[in-house]
């Protein structure tokens, strides 16, 4: 059987998880400083953007990975 995207889907979702963590800790603050948006945006909006990348996006990615893994398990057992 050939390798398909399904074989690498868990690895891909794990990579997306770590990319979202990197976005929240490194890229987002850097972009805000470079574009001079840090002074224009309120503290609450900057915090909200950081929280979305740090918590919401990884949780969604992990839920997708869990759902895909569960579907694959059901297919194997015939349920």
Q: Each residue of 23-72: pLDDT tens digit?
A: 777 877 888 888 888 788 888 888 888 787 777 877 887 787 777 666 66
Band (pLDDT 50/70/90 cuts) for residue 75 is low
Q: Give 54-63 pLDDT, tens digit per residue.
A: 778 778 877 8
- Where is mean pLDDT largest: 6-15, 17-26, 70-79? 17-26
The b/e string for 48-62 (b: 16+ C-beta within 10 A; e otherwise) is ebbeebbeebbeebe
pLDDT for position 77:
56
pLDDT for position 15:
81
């Amino acid at each position: 059987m050939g390798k398909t995207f399904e074989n690498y889907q868990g690895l891909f979702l794990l990579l997306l998880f770590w990319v979202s963590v990197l976005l929240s800790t490194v890229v987002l603050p850097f972009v805000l400083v470079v574009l001079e948006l840090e002074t224009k945006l309120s503290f609450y909006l900057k915090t909200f953007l950081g929280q979305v990348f740090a918590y919401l996006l990884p949780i969604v990615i992990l839920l997708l990975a869990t759902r895909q893994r569960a579907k694959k398990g059901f297919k194997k057992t015939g349920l």
